[in-house]
Amino acid sequence: MNIQSNFSLQKLNSFGFLSHAEYFVSVENEHDLLNAIEFANQKKMPWQVLGSGSNVVLQDFLPGLTIHMAIFGKKLVSESATHFYIDCGAGENWHEFVKWTIEEGYPGLENLALIPGTTGAAPIQNIGAYGAEAASMIDSVEVLDTKLVLETQANTEVDLNIQQNWQVIPKEECAFAYRDSIFKRDLQAYVVTQVRFAIPKKWQANLSYAELANYFLDNKSPSAQDIFDAVVMIRSKKLPDPALLGNAGSFFHNPIVDLATYTQLKEKFTGLVSYPAPDLLGEKQFKLAAGWLIDQCGLKGYRVGDCGVYEKQALVLVNHGTAKGSEMLALANHIKQTVLEKFGVTLSQEPNNLP
Ligand SMILES: Cc1cc2nc3c(=O)[nH]c(=O)nc-3n(C[C@H](O)[C@H](O)[C@H](O)COP(=O)(O)OP(=O)(O)OC[C@H]3O[C@@H](n4cnc5c(N)ncnc54)[C@H](O)[C@@H]3O)c2cc1C
């Protein structure tokens, strides 16, 4: 295990913030990961996990140990009459994994093409796009349970028995919801090391997202590869490439409101962009387009120093050069306040703040 100090994270976060980890280690297997957590616990220092940094706002300095997830490997492990079961290491690049599943004949994840990041981070916020969510094809998530590490450390001197610290959490216990899961609610509780996918053998095109349906108006039976290609093409046009303009994709969730709030807003703002959301306890709910709310506040293209609202999509905040995490959070607060004053709607942030 190679623990480095004062390690630059600038290339490990899609905003490109200048940030340094006090200590940094890249873990390539379960053993390294357990050692890393035990090292941090013994030194009584905080720790955090970093995948490819495409959904984080990093501060200038991350105290303690930053653990970079680099556990690789992907394979078909079994199949039933109805499903393919595929294991993928947490460090694998998500887009490459999606591409591989299609090439190998296990289509189903194509709507989620080109989402940056690692496969281990996919269950954290239940990544979703173009009418699909990762949770729909996740069977279970293998994690290091950090409570168990503390217990085994207290009970034995140095216990490197991997088995007793690991858990496989079935999908039903992951509390997957819109950009949410048990993992997202407590980032210190589990470290995801592998995800098992259950991909239905009976493939069906998912064209529930209007933009995708429009794209295939002239092609009534697109293949998974066609959908993959279309998603890649559409996404590339809409979102800035982090390699050219630092960003973390959508910076805010689309807020979900009840029927009464929706009706009031719709009366006052006739152009309100919204979609029906799943009912909550039998009550109707609506998802509002956060980008539209921000745009209506005149903030599209708004800029403070090197922090800005992307000129083509107000939901995306961008780093024009040498912005810092703290400055981006100040801009985000200004946006939240402005939207609250105009619409009475509270926006919540999607990327996680580290530390
Ligand atoms: C241009 C762009 C477009 C995007 N589009 C979408 C989109 O369409 N849909 C969508 O859902 N998201 C989107 N995102 C957000 C991002 O791609 C996803 O959230 C992705 O899953 C993050 O993966 P990562 O490896 O970069 O995670 P990181 O940013 O490194 O980490 C995110 C959080 O998860 C934690 N974490 C990471 N790995 C692990 C692990 N193995 N175990 C425990 N905790 C872990 C980290 O501590 C952190 O809190 C977009 C981002 C960008 C830059």
179 catalytically annotated: yes
Does the residue 235 lie in any domain? no
75-79, 140-144, 161-165, 171-175: which range is least confident on average?
Answer: 161-165
pLDDT for res 149:
79
Q: Which of 35, 69, 103 is the last residue of a domain?
A: 69
SS3 229: helix
Choice from 25, 115, 136 to test ligand 1 binding pocket (greatest atom count within 8 A of CB): 115
Does the residue 179 lie in any domain? yes
pLDDT for res 148:
81
Q: What angle separates helix 94-104 from helix 224-238, to the nearest 10 degrees?
A: 160
Q: How confident is the model at residue 158 (pLDDT cuts 50, 70, 90)?
A: very low
Helix residue spans in 74-180 (DSSP H)? 94-104, 146-155
Owning domain of residue 287: 246-354
- Do 193 and 88 share a domain, yes or no? yes
Does the residue 347 lie in any domain? yes
Share of the chain above pLDDT 90, in %: 91
- Do 304 and 272 share a domain, yes or no? yes
Residue 118 Cα to ligand 1 midpoint, Å, equals 7
Give me the mean pLDDT over the 115-144 stretch.
97
pLDDT for res 22:
98
Sign of CA dihedral 79, 232, 328, 332: negative
Q: What is the mean pLDDT of the chain?
A: 95
- Do 33 and 111 share a domain, yes or no? no
The pocket around ligand 1, CB under 6 angstroms, is made up of 14, 48-56, 69, 90, 115-118, 120-122, 124-125, 127-129, 187, 191-192, 239, 242, 247-249, 352
Q: Which atom of ligand 1 is nearest to the CA of 69?
A: 41
- Do 193 and 119 share a domain, yes or no? yes
pLDDT for res 279:
84
38-47, 166-175, 274-283: which range is least confident on average?
Answer: 274-283
pLDDT at 150 over 50: yes
Write the pLDDT tens digit of every residue in 281-319.
788 999 999 999 999 999 999 999 999 999 999 999 999
Q: Which atom of ligand 1 is nearest to the CA of 126?
A: 11
Give me the mean pLDDT over the 12-17 stretch.
98
Q: What is the CATH number of the domain that holds 336?
A: 3.90.78.10
Q: What is the CATH number of the domain that holds 172?
A: 3.30.465.10
- Do 256 and 348 share a domain, yes or no? yes
Does the residue 224 lie in any domain? no
Does the residue 123 lie in any domain? yes
- Do 271 and 189 share a domain, yes or no? no
pLDDT at 17 over 50: yes
- Around 355, how many Cα atoms within 13 Å sit in the side-chain half-sphere? 15
Write the pLDDT tens digit of every residue in 211-257.
999 999 999 899 999 999 999 999 999 999 999 999 999 999 999 99
Share of the chain above pLDDT 70, in %: 97
CB 71 within 8 A of CB 65: no
- For residues 251 and 330, give the distance between their C-alpha atoms in angstroms, rounded to a whole number: 13
Give me the mean pLDDT over the 182-203 stretch.
96
Q: What is the CATH number of the domain that holds 23?
A: 3.30.43.10
Measured CA to CA in angstroms, residue 257 lies from 128, 269, 274, 335 at distances of: 20, 15, 10, 19
Does the residue 18 lie in any domain? yes
By CB atoms closer than 10 A (0-12, 13-18, 19+), residue 2 is: exposed
Total structural domains within the chain:
3
Q: Which of 69, 86, 114 is the last residue of a domain?
A: 69
Residue 208 is given by DSSP the state -
- Do 111 and 33 share a domain, yes or no? no
- Do 144 and 91 share a domain, yes or no? yes
pLDDT for res 1:
83
- Do 84 and 189 share a domain, yes or no? yes
- Do 297 and 315 share a domain, yes or no? yes
- Do 88 and 191 share a domain, yes or no? yes
pLDDT for res 280:
80
